[in-house]
C-alpha cells in the first residue's frame, strides 16, 4: 500500500509519483488530492481501482480542495471517495459512475462528495460529512438517477444528510440518521421550482441521533403513493390528495389524510330511516328503525 500525494493536476494512468509522470496507482493505494484534480483517463467503460481517493493534504487528514474528473461513458471506481474542501465529483450529462465503495461528504459547508447531473450514479454507502449541509450524494438534475445499495447515513454537521434528494430519481436500500440531530439519512425536499424527487427507501434504521428520513417541502404527483415504515418498522402508506375521497363522500366531522381533510357528508339517524333498511359503510353500518306507513320516510340505499 502506498500513499500518493498529488503535486500537480494529474491523470490516473500516470499519477503514482504525484507529478503525473508515473504509472497508474495500485489496488491498495490511497490517493491524496492535495488541492489538485485527478482525471480518470482512458477509453470507457473502464474500472479504476484503489483503496481511497481523499481530498486531503499529504498528512492524509487535513482537508483540501481537490476534484475527481470523469469522462462521458460509464466509469467504475473500486474504492471509497472522501470530499474535503470542495465538491469532489460532479457528474454532467452522460458521465455515469458506478462506485463500489462509499461516498462521504466534506468538512466545509455544502461540500458534497458527489453531485449527479443528467447521469446515473450508484454506490454502496452514502455518508454525510462534518460540514454543515455537506451531503454524501446530491442531485443536480431532474434526470439524475441515483442508487444507494447499502445505507445512507447522516453526518455530524447541521443538515449533513447522507443523501439530499430535492430532484431526480432515487433508490435507497436503507436510511439512518447521523450524529447531529438535523442530519438525516435521506433528506427530502422539493426544489421550490415545481420539481420534486421520486424516492424509494426500502428500510429505515432509527438508531441514529438524527432522523432516518427528514422532509421539507414534498409533493406527491397525481396517483402516487408514499410508502414508509413507522418507528416499529411497520409498513405504512400515504396517498396523494387526488387518491383521497371527496369531502362529500366522508361522514361529517370525520378527519382523514391525517388531519388535512374533513368529511362533510351528513347521514340521517337510524330513526329517520325505514325499519330494516341498512345504510352507511357497505350498507350494514346502521339499520333504520322507523316504522313504515308514516310518510316523509327517508330511505338511503
Strands 137-139 and 163-165, sheet pairing: parallel
3-class SS of residue 139: strand
pLDDT at residue 287 tops 90: yes
Question: Higher model confidence: residue 116 or residue 193?
Answer: 116
Q: b or e along 259-282 (b: 16 or more beta carbons within 10 Å of the residue's beta carbon)? A: eebebeeeeeeeeebbeebebeee
**CA-closest candidate to residue 98, choices 136, 134, 45, 169:** 45
pLDDT at residue 219 tops 60: no
Q: Is the peptide bond before 208 cis (omega within 30 degrees of 0)?
A: no
Beta carbons within 10 angstroms of residue 188's beta carbon: 22
Q: What share of the chain is helix, strand, coil (3-state, %, to 5)?
A: 5, 40, 55
Structure confidence by residue, pLDDT tens digits, 145-181: 999 999 999 999 999 999 999 899 999 999 999 999 9
Q: Domain coordinates of the chain in residue numbers?
A: 3-219
pLDDT at residue 221 tops 60: no
d(CA 149, CA 169): 14
Beta carbons within 10 angstroms of residue 190's beta carbon: 17
d(CA 75, CA 73): 7
pLDDT at residue 194 tops 90: no
d(CA 198, CA 133): 21
- Mapping DSSP onto H, E and C, the string for 8-38 reads CCEEHHHCCCCCCCCCCCCCCCEEECCCCEE
Where does the pLDDT of residue 208 fall: very low under 50, low under 70, confident under 90, or very high at 90 and above?
very high
Query: Looking at residue 216, what is its pLDDT?
Result: 61
Element (H, E) at 176: strand 169-176
pLDDT at residue 240 tops 70: no
Element (H, E) at 64: none
Strands 255-256 and 261-262, sheet pairing: antiparallel
**CA-closest candidate to residue 34, choices 59, 55, 11, 61:** 55
Averaged pLDDT for residues 243-264: 82
One DSSP character per residue, 250-283 reads SBTT-EETTTTEE--BPPPPGGGBBTT-EESGGG
Amino acid at each position: 500500500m502506498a500513499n500518493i500525494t498529488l503535486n500537480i493536476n494529474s491523470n490516473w494512468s500516470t499519477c503514482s509519483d504525484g507529478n503525473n509522470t508515473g504509472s497508474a496507482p495500485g489496488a491498495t493505494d490511497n490517493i491524496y488530492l492535495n488541492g489538485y484534480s485527478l482525471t480518470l483517463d482512458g477509453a470507457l467503460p473502464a474500472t479504476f481501482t484503489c483503496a481511497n481517493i481523499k481530498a486531503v493534504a499529504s498528512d492524509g487528514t487535513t482537508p483540501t480542495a481537490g476534484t475527481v474528473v470523469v469522462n462521458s461513458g460509464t466509469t467504475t471506481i473500486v474504492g471509497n471517495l472522501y470530499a474535503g474542501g470542495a465538491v469532489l465529483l460532479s457528474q454532467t450529462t452522460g458521465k455515469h459512475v458506478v462506485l463500489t465503495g462509499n461516498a462521504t461528504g466534506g468538512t466545509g459547508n455544502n461540500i458534497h462528495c458527489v453531485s449527479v447531473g443528467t447521469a446515473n450514479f450508484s454506490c454502496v454507502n452514502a455518508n454525510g460529512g462534518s460540514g454543515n449541509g455537506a451531503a454524501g450524494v446530491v442531485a443536480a438534475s431532474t434526470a439524475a438517477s441515483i442508487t444507494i445499495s447499502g445505507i445512507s447515513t447522516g453526518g455530524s454537521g447541521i443538515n449533513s444528510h447522507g443523501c439530499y434528494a430535492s430532484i431526480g430519481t432515487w433508490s435507497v436500500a436503507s436510511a439512518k440518521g447521523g450524529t447531529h440531530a438535523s442530519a438525516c439519512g435521506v433528506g427530502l425536499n422539493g426544489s421550490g421550482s415545481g420539481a420534486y424527487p421520486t424516492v424509494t427507501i426500502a428500510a429505515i434504521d432509527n438508531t441514529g441521533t438524527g432522523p432516518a428520513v427528514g422532509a421539507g417541502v414534498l409533493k406527491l404527483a397525481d396517483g402516487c403513493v408514499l410508502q414508509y415504515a413507522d418507528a416499529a418498522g411497520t409498513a405504512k402508506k400515504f396517498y396523494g390528495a387526488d387518491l383521497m375521497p371527496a369531502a362529500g363522500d366522508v361522514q361529517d366531522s370525520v378527519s382523514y389524510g391525517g388531519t388535512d381533510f374533513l368529511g362533510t357528508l351528513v347521514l340521517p339517524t337510524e330513526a329517520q330511516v325505514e325499519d330494516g333498511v341498512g345504510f352507511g359503510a357497505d350498507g350494514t353500518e346502521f339499520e333504520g328503525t322507523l316504522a313504515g306507513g308514516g310518510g316523509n320516510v327517508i330511505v338511503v340505499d
